Amino acid sequence: MSDSNHVALITGTSRGLGAVIARVLAERGYDLVVCARDEGPLQIASESFRSPGGKVVAIAGDITDDAVRVRLVDAARKLGGLNVLVNNASELGGIGPLSAVDLTRFARVMQVNVGAAIALIQRALPLLAERGGLIVNISSDAAHGAYPGWGPYGASKAALELVTRTLAGELSVHGVSAIAVDPGDMRTRMHQEAFPGVDISDRPLPEITIPFWNWLLSLNPRDVIAYSGQRFAAQQEDARWRLERKAS
């Protein structure tokens, strides 16, 4: 993908993986629209995304609020369009058995992790179609692991992966690609919430995924469309990108 005059929209960017992805995009010359619920941490993080000549628009708010989604897409439009949309914002929803889950909390997890992503894609589709853009939905191994206690989160990520595959088929006519990315276990606040009281210092920082993002963003649109609908594990170099990355 050409890196000049490109625009990316990333949700959940005040810390962790979202912040890492935003920095990679900024370093590659993308103008950014970034979002998180808490304004203070978002503003601090957004300063670290700024690169010489690059633009960063930070919008605080809950991604389940359509007014926030409208502001995000409008900001991308004002920057010139949209090449990459990263649906990274997620909620864990707590750890506990599905047999005792609070259904209101379950609905909130599905709304944040799946519904809001679909709604943002709907809002952003005209801009993405203009540039043959890429949708990246952040998934998890919990989508396949059926881990006890992780039911709401795992169900939401499994649904998001099916959404991704479906979108890939539906949006190809518009020249828009969609992939799912499992970033793997990382030393993040959400991961610590999943393991309260457990030392997770052996987990790698989100920066471990940087080689994958650089490979993905180095592709031209024709190469990206060939991968549409696929799932990548960002910490595991596989045959689809190992040789290509090393040759680049």
Residues marked as catalytic: 139, 153, 157
Strand-by-strand arrangement of the 56-60 sheet: 56-60, 31-36, 7-11, 84-87, 134-138, 177-182, 231-233
Alpha-carbon distances, residue 23 vs 5, 6, 47, 104, 243 (angstroms): 16, 14, 10, 35, 24
Nearest-10 crossing angle of helices 66-79, 116-131: 20
The H helix count followed by the E strand count for the chain is 11, 7
Residue 71 CA to its chain's centroid (Å): 18
Which residue has 């989604």 as its token pair?
A: 69
What is the distance between the alpha carbons of residues 179 and 86, in angstroms, rounded to a whole number?
A: 10
SS3 label, residue 90? coil
Which residue has 């949708």 as its token pair?
A: 135
SS3 label, residue 179? strand
